[in-house]
Structure 1
């Protein structure tokens, strides 16, 4: 479900997206979508990035420039080539310049953990260079192999062949984390954390510790972001006829004021401004 929403929404939101495809079914549960990026900018482009529960690996074929300014006033990230980003729990303004040319790999948190073999709380709100994880030579070999393929479908096919082995070589995510992530995702965050832990067969504190390592945020923080994204989709859906009070009810907010506070905190905007 999430993959289909990603695939259908990227081209409308991001002008640099020129191709999108789901991964091979054998990557289900780890990879959600591949995104082809190609936009040459003659002047900087600024956009708002909202909170996200979807880790992203970008493989730059050229030295794209991205500068991030977080809205909460904390320091943002400087320009990072081939950035790897984890869970984002705060909105930010992103300035793009240069040639945005490469591939974005949208992962699930368990997939990112298996692929990178490092605690994901280190990536929360702080993108790092892929080269710092793989090493300069391995990163460059990956870039060269993908960039040498002449079409997007061929590049996505290559990732379908490369990623299973890379995921298998990494640490296996906890079954409790996989189960809890799937439940959170399926309910758009509308589940009690105590019930989530019971379903996963672990104590709440143990689940929180596992999530910090293998997801990058607590179950409660993930639930908040997923609930926000359901509200965001309903508000920005041009075919939706319900009012903001109906959206608040559908997403589990106590009232419209609660919805407005959460939308502002996680997107830097308000429901009224977001509605088409």
Structure 2
């Protein structure tokens, strides 16, 4: 296992179980030696997220612009695919495991239409039912991170085995979009998988959570965000490389999906789709 500092928290990782690699993009454990509060901005990644909060819950998790009434404490959570920024605040003393799932991995794991989770955060028990409480009790009952990861692996593998199988055409469309970082038009995508555009859009929304066009936009944005994390990056070069019409198009999409400018994103420290603010 590897351990590193991320802000005021320690981050522990290990290679994913081979059976999880097609479905789980990454997972990591976090704990804070000191109870220091933090606030991050979550930017779209094209993946679903599960956070297993073993200790203190989040103080609030909300989308930018959301009414204050929706900002309630959140314990362990499930977040579907997003097409905009979200803010996450924690009072300090976090101890948690965070998983990033591929869209179709989330579809199999959650066993429900992914559009029901689009741009939403729900409590873990709303998706897993009584299993959620059992899982969290068992995680809290051990202090060993390897044992915790083993437990999570076993739960994931069992649920994935029982989950629904995505349509091969949706899986192919998802793969083509991911390989091209969003650089494929929906008409060509439909032709490649052998479906009409309308049928592709309907099934894609059900099993991924976004339309193919919106998913492509998120993938372009995420590639651009990754390029902007380097020093001395030329914005015009990023725009051209990532398939934007021009720098103005890049600026508009970054403001819409991250709520900040390219310069602010380039100067920020971010990891696992979270920008430290």
TM-score category of the 2 structures, normalised to the smaller one: 0.7 to 0.9
Q: With structure 2 as the length reference, what TM-score do the two structures score? A: 0.87
Deviates more, 1:224-233 or 1:241-250: 241-250
Corresponding residue for 1:231?
224
- CA pair 17-128 structure 1, distance change in 2 beyond 3 A: farther
* Of 23, 42, 49, the match for 2:42: 49
* Of 210, 235, 239, the match for 1:248: 239
Residue 269 (structure 1) aligned with residue 260 (structure 2): yes
CA contact (8 A) 2:52 2:97 kept: yes
Corresponding residue for 1:85?
79
Q: Distance in 1 between matches of 2:240 and 2:193?
A: 27
- CA pair 188-15 structure 1, distance change in 2 beyond 3 A: farther
Question: Quick check: which one's helix share is greater?
Answer: 1
* Of 170, 178, 198, the match for 2:191: 198
SS of the equivalent of 1:171 reads coil
Give the RMSD, CA atoms, in angstroms: 2.3
Deviations 1:116-161 (A, max 9, x none): 11111111111111112222x3212111223334322232233233
SS of the equivalent of 2:223 reads helix
Gaps of 5+ in 1: 1-7
Corresponding residue for 1:123?
117
Whose RCO is larger (CA < 8 A, sep 6+)? Answer: 2
Residue 167 (structure 1) aligned with residue 171 (structure 2): no
Give the drift of 1:66.
3.6
- State the number of aligned residues: 265
Q: With structure 1 as the length reference, what TM-score do the two structures score? A: 0.87
Gaps of 5+ in 2: 268-277
